[in-house]
Amino acid sequence: MPPAASQLALGGAGAVGGLAYAILCSLSGTLRPHLNFWFFSQLLREWCRGMVSAETRAKGVIGLLLAGVQRGSTLRRVLKLEVDHQRKVLEAGGADAVARDPTRLWNLGLAHVRTARQADEAAKKAGGGGAEGVGAGHGPVLRDLLLVGGGHSHAHVLLMLGMEPIPGVRVTLVTRDMETPYSGMLPGHVAGHYTKRECHIDLARLGRFAGARVVHAEVTGIDVEQKRVHLRSCLDAAGQDDRPPLRYDVISVDVGCSPSVQGLSGYDVLRTGGVGQSVATVKPIDGFSRKFERMVAGVEGWKGPRDVVIVGAGAGGVELALAVQHRLQEALRSYGRPPDWARVAITSRSKRVMPNHASAVSGIMARTLQERGVRVYPEHEALRVEAQDSGGEALVCRTPGGEVRVGFGECVWCTDGAPQSWMRELGLETDTSGFLLVETTLQARLPSGQPLQNFFAAGDCASIRGHPRPKAGVFAVMAGMPLSKNLRAALEGGPLVEYIPQQEFLGIIGLGRGGAVASKGDVALKADWLWELKDWIDRTWMWKYTEGLPKMGGGSSEPSAVARQAGTEALELLKKASMRCGGCGSKVGSTVLSAAMQRVQAESQVYENSEVLVGMQSADDAAVVQQKGSKLVTVQTVDFFKSIVGDPYVFGRIAALHALSDCFSMGARAQTALALCTVTLGSEAVMQEDVFQMMAGANRELRASCCTLAGGHTTEGPEAGLGFCVTGVAGGPEELLTKGGLQPGDTLLLTKPLGTGCIFAAEMQQRAVGPSVSAALRSMLRSNEPAAQIVSKHGARACTDVTGFGLLGHLVEMCRAAGQAAVLRLDDVPALPGAEELLSQGVASSLQPANFRLRRALRNEGAAAAAFSGGRLPRYPLLYDPQTNGGLLLAVQQGAAASACAAALAAAGEDFWVIGSVVARPADWHEGQFVTLEAAALSSAP
């Protein structure tokens, strides 16, 4: 359930708090009806039970209902009848009947809102949204819905799509940030009341729930006529991506706004290391959050008072100023410094703070700022940032008396936002500030005034024609429902609904260290308990998009009689069938593969060719062929797996890099590639686009490695898949790196961290966080070619790439081929962010159980298993995690050769970790034992 109302303790008096909330709701009429009724239900069920009289509860019911009566609609008439009914019951002495009948009001108030249980049922009915794979479970893809941006409106759209997918429609979310902040909680985050995770929606999880493909990229333009969105990848260094545009049938834009400081002299040097390095813009919020955390961390080094100037005295600037002051003062106290060293000031173009609010609100906030010691500079319009002769920087402002300078150590820009630069180039109608002008249906307009049937916009990036409103999060939140309905209508051919934002709304502004001010129109109220109310409202809203998302499972249908007869293994397989991993995690285990190929060799005669130097009898990564009379050798490898990520372009890149890696790890140069492509059924346009995106991504990586895409084969299938047969060349057998070159004393190096298997297993289950997914993608998008070229020139004796069998599996292959053993230092094995936490929670790739059978290769497997079971060796499962385009595992002669190899890798910017060494395999080891595991937890075992 959402945060319990029992946690409120409004002013310490339940009845007073409840009635105060009802009064606020009645005054405002702006809190969403379902929020009012949800609060009422919790008031009855959890908070007021046994604390408040039945009569008070009944009056609270009526007060909350009256809040909804002011909303002009059919709901008003229904609520009016309900109020009359409840009043009659109360007058007849039936207060207990009112209080004991929450179901009647619950159903009335939430008639148009799905509860978590309803959402769970809808998700199961529709295949769990994305539970069975992105875009799976809904038949052929006929139309593409593209959501640009992960703002508040789109968060609601994704939630609704997860609850009730649209058959035949594929959803794609394009987002620059994998975690989208809730603007209402940003000041609380700055003040230290919320962690980053508590005030951010994880778009990887929400997108998975919605069954959407998530494309981590930034929009650079939209071709409205051709229905194409141009992108710049957020997974590559700036300017290094040439990905093709994405097509759409229906598009919605919710990208917020950017800092409105382009006209500020000196702003152009903020990114070049000149004046202005102490200036932080509130938007984008993620960038501001990182810079502010550095500011707080720097408090430890303060030698005296420091001035922090907030530019902008609107509601956001004032709330942020109080939050910044509180956080910095708390940090100073923690270091034993005077809290008044944090001198916070606000500059305002107007004569008063919060000029767009009523004078009552402005007056309360002005007095609060004065009480807290926050200085206000009225009628100070910021012009530029300059360096001061005495050190530090100054904000040059225009005042009625001329230009003045306001010195600062840190400056935060919190003024009105500006539209994204590419919006002016869309050829669509905008308002005077450059924001998209939309109809009340949220459809964008052509310059002629004609609405575009397939182009929608909401949130701060849009302005509704005839209904101008300030850029406030409340409007973006409330636009989510009509936007969701209209996108569905546009795709299904239904009627559109109108959305006219309210002219007045209830605003609750936090005061930093506690308390809040609530206002609506000319009415304002300041109280400590209002912060508790704001906190509850914000946490409840966030809960719907985070912990409140229905959990995904592998299905609950009864197994068939055949499955029951087949036994436990079959039942377990059916249970997990819908959650099988993609990438290398979709491959069969090494025991299945080796057993099958041994049977082929034993029961079916394999043709022997003297030109094949390395074939099935070897565990190497590729076959090696040398034509008679030629010194050159040909290296051939093939790889294929189903999609691991929703973005087809990124999947194409990963698939190509993974296939090329076998060639690189053997020291060969890739020459040609033939593609094997599986595409899901859809309309001709959709299938063509899917093949194009996958192959365009693949060709980018093939081209970068001077490998020619020479052709391929396609087929339809239930899930997208891609693989390549790669042919490479080397100057001769002596130039190749094989797995069998290990020698005692060699140093073992690994060039990438582990964890892609468990991270993408968690992503399928809505348990992975966006930053972990992005880190894993960036790792998989790193080619092994540069590292392979370096190590082959600096004394590497053996090499392989770590892929489906996991680190231990591939190390065992090398040891077995060489007849040697290895010491593996688990504490030195690198892991991707979030991987260890997921493994400790039991999240694992569907291939990991097969890899785990290789534990018998550990000389001290019993001690390792005992330490893991006892909680002392949580990293142990990392050894069995299958990797997609994992790093190189190589052996270099210890000493000067190893040092030279490490230095060359470091000079080229290639990561590496020394994780162990090669030793002679003792004769008394049991067959199959090749590795001794070392770890601090093992050496200190009881």
| Residues annotated catalytic, as ranges | 584
Query: CA–CA separation, 39 vs 32, rounded Å?
Result: 11
Phi and psi, residue 800, nearest 5°: -155, 165
Left if phi > 0, otherwise alpha if psi is -120 to 50, otherwise beta: which for 886?
beta
Listed in sequence order, the residues at least 6 apart from 292 whose beta carbon sits closer than 8 Å to its beta carbon are 190, 280, 324, 412
Strand partners, 231: 219
CA angle 335, 336, 339 (to 5 degrees): 95
CA atoms within 13 A on the CB side of 147: 34
Q: What string of DSSP letters covers 824-863?
A: EEGGGS-B-TTHHHHHHTT---TTHHHHHGGGGGBTTHHH
Here the contacts of 330-339 (C-beta below 8 Å, separation 24 or greater) are: 330/192, 331/296, 331/299, 331/300, 332/299, 332/302, 335/299, 335/300, 337/299, 337/302
Listed in sequence order, the residues at least 6 apart from 215 whose beta carbon sits closer than 8 Å to its beta carbon are 172, 173, 174, 175, 231, 246, 646, 647, 649, 650
CA angle 496, 502, 504 (to 5 degrees): 175
Q: Which residues of 695-720 are buried (b: 16+ CB within 10 A; e: fewer)?
A: bbbbbbbbeebebebeebeeeeeebb
Query: CA–CA separation, 692 vs 246, rounded Å?
Result: 10
Q: Which amino acid is at 43?
A: L
Is the sign of the CA dihedral 334, 340, 341, 343 positive or negative? positive
Which residue is associated with the tokens 């009915």?
A: 125
Q: Find, among 382, 389, 439, the residue nearest to 406 by Cα.
A: 382
Contact 880, 806 (CB under 8 A): yes
Helix, coil or strand: residue 718: coil
Rg (Cα) of the chain, in Å, rounded? 31
Q: What string of DSSP letters covers 651-693?
A: HHHHHHHHHHHHHHHTT-EEEEEEEEEEEE-B-HHHHHHHHHH
Q: Which amino acid is at 501?
A: P
The alpha carbon of residue 181 and the mean position of all alpha carbons in its chain are separated, in whole angstroms, by 11
Contact 174, 229 (CB under 8 A): yes
Which residue is associated with the tokens 């939050």?
A: 323
Is the sign of the CA dihedral 681, 684, 690, 691 positive or negative? positive
Q: Find, among 256, 258, 253, 255, the residue nearest to 224 by Cα.
A: 253
Q: Which residues of 791-802 are buried (b: 16+ CB within 10 A; e: fewer)?
A: bbebbbbbbbbb
Helix, coil or strand: residue 202: strand
Phi and psi, residue 186, nearest 5°: -60, -50
Helix axes 54-69, 14-28, angle to 10 degrees: 20
Torsion on CA atoms 731, 732, 735, 740, rounded to nearest 10: 150
**E-assigned strand segments in 199-245:** 200-202, 213-223, 228-233
Strand partners, 860: none
Query: CA–CA separation, 605 vs 600, rounded Å?
Result: 7
